[in-house]
A and B are shown apart, each in its own frame.
Chain A
Amino acid sequence: MAAAMPLPLFLLLLLGPGGRCLAEPQRDSLREELVITPLPSGDVAATFQFRTRWDSELQREGGLSVLLKADRLFHTSYHSQAVHIRPVCRNARCTSVSWELRQTLSVVFDAFITGQGKKDWSLFRMFSRTLTEPCPLASESRVYVDITNYNQDNETLEVNPPPTTTYHDVILGTRKTYAIYDLLDTAMINNSRNLNIQLKWKRPPENEFPPVPFLHAQRYVSGYGLQKGELSTLLYNTHPYRAFPVLLLDTVPWYLRLYVHTLTITSKGKDNKPSYIHYQPAQDRLQPHLLEMLIQLPANSVTKVSIQFERALLKWTEYTPDPNHGFYVSPSVLSALVPSMVAAKPVDWEESPLFNSLFPVSDGSNYFMRLYTEPLLVNLPTPDFSMPYNVICLTCTVVAVCYGSFYNLLTRTFHIEEPRTGGLAKRLANLIRRIRGVPPL
């Protein structure tokens, strides 16, 4: 189930402390960074980012890359890698350009497997390594830990070692607080020669439900059988009072023939007409269906978008070697400006000047979200692929036996053979005469 959880998976901090985007970037700079965010469900998301600004890449040793051990990273629930390359200007007039390479790895650790059911975690438990020394080539090497929810009461949990500095920001519509551990800070490493960040819950958290994001979606195929079905998408808006529009983009392969007249969108039991529909029908074997709609989701509701389809019979050679596995339908893409509830700055009407009331309250708390639903697997009617072999065997047998017998009967000629009389001498003489080509005796 795709969810718009506030995951800082692609958090990019170009502004480090002491760095401004207008100043000339240092020629040899490697910045590495690890952001650890506990997710509401108890799982832990860790994002590594390594950014170099060189004309060529240099090897990294030490630092955060000691944590990249494959056997632990592939025991995770989710991982994603990305490489971004872009040119950056070296000075304000952009007369010379250098290349920036950014490598990102995001993993989500399963709390159940790594933490054995408890919500505590530590670097050693996640990566089976601790941080020992900073990378000698790095100009910046930091670990950020998201301690937003836990900032208020220090009695519930404890972060070990206690952070020296914190960083505040508004990410995805919510205020977040990060604890910073700087590996280049000699005081951090010198104490114990290794850094193992741990989080312990002093009071076990109640078994409550994780908070539900404001926008999430689900997609599934209804119906059974190999002839027809129905594609249904459920869009959930869990915001208590704000309605917002969502752009839904569906790309359905041509072999699921959509019946657009059966497109129905219902919210809270009533019909919901989209403000904008763009539909491009499919052409067999050339292009898929394209359906794009702008749907207004009412507050605190579930919207169901459903469209019926018929499964097509493919040509013999178009089937994959494993047609009974099914054929995939790409996920639909939802794009929305999701409102946030908490990041709105509370306006103190007594302190602020009077002209503030002339301007609308700037929320500033919408954030853009692109959401992908799950991919689907549909079975198409598959023929029996052993039939050509059966037909060839049968027809060849029939042809050989029947036609062969008939041909034999029709074209066989009969010769009358004289009975052989005479002794051995006559037979020998006949043999010699036959060799000579003379009629026998």
Chain B
Amino acid sequence: MGLLSDPVRRRGARPPRAAPQTALPVAWLERTMRAVGLEVHTQSFSRKLPFPDETHERYIVSGTNVYGILRAPRAASTESLVLTVPCGSDSTNSQAVGLLLALAAHFRGQIYWAKDIIFLVTEHDLLGTEAWLEAYHDVNVTGMQSSPLQGRAGAIQAAVALELSSDMVTSLDVAVEGLNGQLPNLDLLNLFQTFCQKGGLLCTLQGKLQPQDWTSLDGPLQGLQMLLLMVLRQASGRPHGSHGLFLRYRVEALTLRGINSFRQYKYDLVAVGKALEGMFRKLNHLLERLHQSFFLYLLPAISRFVSIGLYMPAAGFLLLVLGLKISSLHEAGVGLEEPGGSPGPSVPLPPAQGMGLASLVAPLLISQAMGLALYVLPVLGQHVAAQHFPVAEAEAVVLTLLAIYAAGLALPHNTHRVVSTQAPDRGWMALKLVALIYLALQLGCIALTNFSLGFLLAATMVPAAALAKPHGSRTLYAALLVLTSPAATLLGSLFLWRELQEAPLSLAEGWQLFLAALAQGVLEHHTYGALLFPLLSLGLYPCWLLFWNVLFWK
């Protein structure tokens, strides 16, 4: 994949891929689950993605989910737990299916179950999981066509997603970040960690081992590394595993990945199965939904957390900078009304408030229109672009995105022909005031729902926004503003993320990854309802354009 590949090869219409490469053996799964003693149902789903997905190589997706329900004896089927194994064409996850069937056979013979257990095998990993969840809750959030479910088991209390690459594992990696930065209750993670310790399993977070030495500088540095990785993953708003899609429906969920690396000590699936059995027995004992522990936290290590009361003031202080700037601008604006005036920082000129407000409307409308174009045009216009240029649809979308983004940079030079030249010289202060208020409101709202995204954007955009003014060295401010624009933040965080994972990228690779991330962001917004793309395009990009307008104010 890639825009730097041979364009000759991509000329011509690409036929949509309708047939999956490795289909799920539905009949065999049904028979086996029935033989184990579960109540088996299937569900079919189909979806046409807005444009072909290059990373997973799919466009028109249709598949079947298979799930078996273990009914608890002498219970009323009011609550249930879910063990899900997502199967996709890129990761067949067949070992996990085997473990699921073995666990089902073991669980079937026990009499202590008070909640039903649903064993779910999904096709096309996350798409199948979303289809199943939407059909289970009888909603239609993402436009997926899924057939209605025949068998249900009451309200789902908790879910565990399992991904295994081989039958021997050296460590179990746990993923907690979900869609739009939602996190499960910390109790679920503590439960997993307890059983890892009991079984002597090695458990990792973010793919890294736990720092052992907290007294010297190494431990805290490693912890900081893992904290930054979690912040970056949470800010991206992607569901890092099937569990991320369960969180929207307020079902606490985790993803466990078995990693087989080059370590000497390996565990077989019996150890993993024992840990899972322990987790399910503990979840079976729950009288209430998990609510006692934190829902909002950051993890420097698997056994340490930072609660919201400790990290929220950081975002608060960044927004305080904006607040102070707003009040100082307001003071300067108000002070100019009086003829004497408080000693302002610039040349006093008669302000024209009415004229100032009218001249604000044009930049605001144009910026918001650019944001709307950035949101709507790439997906709508992909076919038109693919016809006129020798690119595939996915590349057309990405290129349109970049083109509209760069076109916004040329705006100030054009809007000044639209806006009347009677705009006063101090009008830029009013525009900056409005832009700062807009930015503060947006960042405040984002920080409340997804703290990592809010903090990351605040840390990059607040200094540039506070410093933007048309006087002084314009090129320096312009460079600063471009470097802190949302797209540049995305690019920088990609590089930082790979750097923290100790797999640094070269520039070309980074650019490719950036383009893939753009395509994935748009796709995930349409398929799962991820909010990063609309937030950046409809909210932050117009705001950033306003600051660009302020910088190039004539």
Q: Are A110 and B289 in contact (CB under 8 A)?
A: no
Q: Does B152 contact A (CB under 8 A)?
A: yes
B residues 226-258 near A (Cβ < 8 Å) are 248-250
Contacts of B250 in A (CB 8 A): 224-226, 379
- A residues contacting the other copy or chain, number (CB 8 A): 33
Binding site of B, secondary structure by majority: helix, strand, loop or mixed? loop
Given A112-B37, A326-B155, A374-B76, A224-B287 contact (CB < 8 Å): no
Nearest-Cβ distance from residue B93 to partner chain A, whole angstroms: 26
Contacts of B37 in A (CB 8 A): 112, 117
Q: Does A222 contact B (CB under 8 A)?
A: yes
Nearest-Cβ distance from residue A95 to partner chain B, whole angstroms: 46
Given A224-B248, A325-B288, A325-B289, A375-B137 contact (CB < 8 Å): no
Nearest-Cβ distance from residue B223 to partner chain A, whole angstroms: 29
Given A79-B74, A110-B73, A379-B155, A222-B138 contact (CB < 8 Å): yes
Contacts of B151 in A (CB 8 A): 1
Q: Are A377 and B154 in contact (CB under 8 A)?
A: yes
Q: Does B187 contact A (CB under 8 A)?
A: no
Q: Does A78 contact B (CB under 8 A)?
A: yes
| Bound form: Cα–Cα A408–B347 in Å | 51
Scoring B residues 69 to 113 as 1 if CB is less than 8 Å from chain A, else 0, what string do you get?
A: 001011011110000000000000000000000000000110100
| Bound form: Cα–Cα A393–B451 in Å | 28
Q: Nearest chain-B residue to A232 (Cβ)? A: B138
Nearest-Cβ distance from residue B114 to partner chain A, whole angstroms: 12
Q: Are A224 and B139 in contact (CB under 8 A)?
A: yes
Scoring A residues 66 to 80 as 1 if CB is less than 8 Å from chain B, else 0, what string do you get?
A: 000000000111110
| Bound form: Cα–Cα A75–B139 in Å | 38
Partner of A224, one of B73, B154, B249: B249
Q: Are A76 and B138 in contact (CB under 8 A)?
A: no
Q: Nearest chain-A residue to B249 (Cβ)? A: A224
Given A223-B137, A377-B155, A325-B287 contact (CB < 8 Å): yes
A residues 296-351 near B (Cβ < 8 Å) are 322-326, 328
Contacts of B71 in A (CB 8 A): 77
Nearest-Cβ distance from residue A372 to partner chain B, whole angstroms: 10
B residues 263-317 near A (Cβ < 8 Å) are 287-289, 291
Contacts of B139 in A (CB 8 A): 222-224
| Bound form: Cα–Cα A328–B108 in Å | 27
- B residues contacting the other copy or chain, number (CB 8 A): 28
Q: Does A356 contact B (CB under 8 A)?
A: no
Q: Does A230 contact B (CB under 8 A)?
A: yes
Given A76-B74, A78-B74, A207-B31, A220-B109 contact (CB < 8 Å): no
Scoring B residues 171 to 207 as 1 if CB is less than 8 Å from chain A, else 0, what string do you get?
A: 0000000000000000000000000000000000000
Nearest-Cβ distance from residue B132 to partner chain A, whole angstroms: 14
Q: Are B138 and A223 in contact (CB under 8 A)?
A: yes
Contacts of A221 in B (CB 8 A): 155
Q: Are A377 and B288 in contact (CB under 8 A)?
A: no
Q: Are B34 and A207 in contact (CB under 8 A)?
A: yes
B residues 50-75 near A (Cβ < 8 Å) are 71, 73-74
Q: Does A376 contact B (CB under 8 A)?
A: yes
Interface-centre pick from B37, B151, B248 (highest chain A CB count, 10 A): B37
| Bound form: Cα–Cα A220–B137 in Å | 9
| Bound form: Cα–Cα A381–B74 in Å | 29
Q: Does A272 contact B (CB under 8 A)?
A: no
Q: Are A377 and B109 in contact (CB under 8 A)?
A: no
A residues 45-88 near B (Cβ < 8 Å) are 75-79
Given A78-B74, A375-B76, A322-B155 contact (CB < 8 Å): no
| Bound form: Cα–Cα A207–B137 in Å | 31
Q: Does A98 contact B (CB under 8 A)?
A: no
Q: Does A132 contact B (CB under 8 A)?
A: no
Q: Are B74 and A218 in contact (CB under 8 A)?
A: no
| Bound form: Cα–Cα A112–B249 in Å | 33
Given A76-B74, A375-B78, A377-B78, A220-B138 contact (CB < 8 Å): yes
Partner of A230, one of B108, B138, B154: B138
A residues 1-30 near B (Cβ < 8 Å) are 1
Q: Does A263 contact B (CB under 8 A)?
A: no
| Bound form: Cα–Cα A322–B250 in Å | 18
Scoring A residues 365 to 401 as 1 if CB is less than 8 Å from chain B, else 0, what string do you get?
A: 0000000001111110000000000000000000000
Contacts of B74 in A (CB 8 A): 76-79
A residues 237-287 near B (Cβ < 8 Å) are none
Q: Does A113 contact B (CB under 8 A)?
A: yes
Given A77-B73, A223-B137, A218-B152 contact (CB < 8 Å): yes
Interface-centre pick from B31, B73, B151, B287 (highest chain A CB count, 10 A): B73
Nearest-Cβ distance from residue B364 to partner chain A, whole angstroms: 33
Nearest-Cβ distance from residue A241 to partner chain B, whole angstroms: 23
Partner of A324, one of B73, B152, B248, B291: B291
Contacts of B155 in A (CB 8 A): 221, 326, 376-379
| Bound form: Cα–Cα A225–B71 in Å | 26
| Bound form: Cα–Cα A179–B385 in Å | 78
| Bound form: Cα–Cα A75–B250 in Å | 33
Contacts of A77 in B (CB 8 A): 71, 73-74
Scoring A residues 208 to 222 as 1 if CB is less than 8 Å from chain B, else 0, what string do you get?
A: 000000000010111
| Bound form: Cα–Cα A92–B71 in Å | 51
Q: Are A379 and B138 in contact (CB under 8 A)?
A: no
| Bound form: Cα–Cα A263–B37 in Å | 38
Given A207-B31, A224-B137, A76-B73 contact (CB < 8 Å): yes
Partner of B154, one of A76, A225, A322, A374: A374
Nearest-Cβ distance from residue A393 to partner chain B, whole angstroms: 15
Nearest-Cβ distance from residue B256 to partner chain A, whole angstroms: 24
Contacts of B109 in A (CB 8 A): 112-113
Interface-centre pick from A110, A226, A322 (highest chain B CB count, 10 A): A110
| Bound form: Cα–Cα A50–B143 in Å | 59
A residues 175-212 near B (Cβ < 8 Å) are 207
Contacts of A220 in B (CB 8 A): 138, 152, 154
Q: Nearest chain-A residue to B72 (Cβ)? A: A77
| Bound form: Cα–Cα A77–B288 in Å | 24
B residues 348-373 near A (Cβ < 8 Å) are none
Q: Are B288 and A324 in contact (CB under 8 A)?
A: yes
Q: Nearest chain-B residue to A324 (Cβ)? A: B288
Q: Are A322 and B137 in contact (CB under 8 A)?
A: no
Nearest-Cβ distance from residue A377 to partner chain B, whole angstroms: 4
Nearest-Cβ distance from residue A112 to partner chain B, whole angstroms: 4
Q: Nearest chain-B residue to A326 (Cβ)? A: B155
| Bound form: Cα–Cα A14–B379 in Å | 75
Q: Nearest chain-B residue to A236 (Cβ)? A: B150
B residues 414-447 near A (Cβ < 8 Å) are none
| Bound form: Cα–Cα A323–B289 in Å | 9
Nearest-Cβ distance from residue A253 to partner chain B, whole angstroms: 15
Partner of B137, one of A117, A222, A325, A328: A222
Nearest-Cβ distance from residue B378 to partner chain A, whole angstroms: 30
Contacts of B248 in A (CB 8 A): 224
Q: Nearest chain-B residue to A224 (Cβ)? A: B249
| Bound form: Cα–Cα A370–B289 in Å | 33
Contacts of A328 in B (CB 8 A): 78
Q: Are B287 and A112 in contact (CB under 8 A)?
A: no
| Bound form: Cα–Cα A113–B31 in Å | 19
Q: Are A376 and B78 in contact (CB under 8 A)?
A: yes
Scoring B residues 107 to 133 as 1 if CB is less than 8 Å from chain A, else 0, what string do you get?
A: 011010000000000000000000000
Q: List 17 contacting pairs A-B, 8 Å CB cutoff, sorted by A.
A: A75-B73, A77-B74, A79-B74, A113-B109, A117-B37, A207-B34, A207-B35, A220-B154, A222-B137, A224-B250, A226-B250, A323-B288, A324-B289, A324-B291, A374-B77, A376-B155, A377-B155
Residues of B in contact with A (beta carbons under 8 Å apart): 31, 34-35, 37, 71, 73-74, 76-79, 108-109, 111, 137-139, 151-152, 154-155, 248-250, 287-289, 291
- Known contacts A221-B155, A376-B154; 8 additional CB pairs below 8 A are A75-B111, A77-B73, A77-B74, A223-B139, A326-B289, A374-B76, A374-B78, A375-B76
Q: Which A-B residue pairs are the 10 nearest by beta carbons?
A: A222-B138, A324-B288, A112-B37, A224-B249, A377-B78, A325-B288, A77-B73, A324-B291, A324-B289, A377-B155
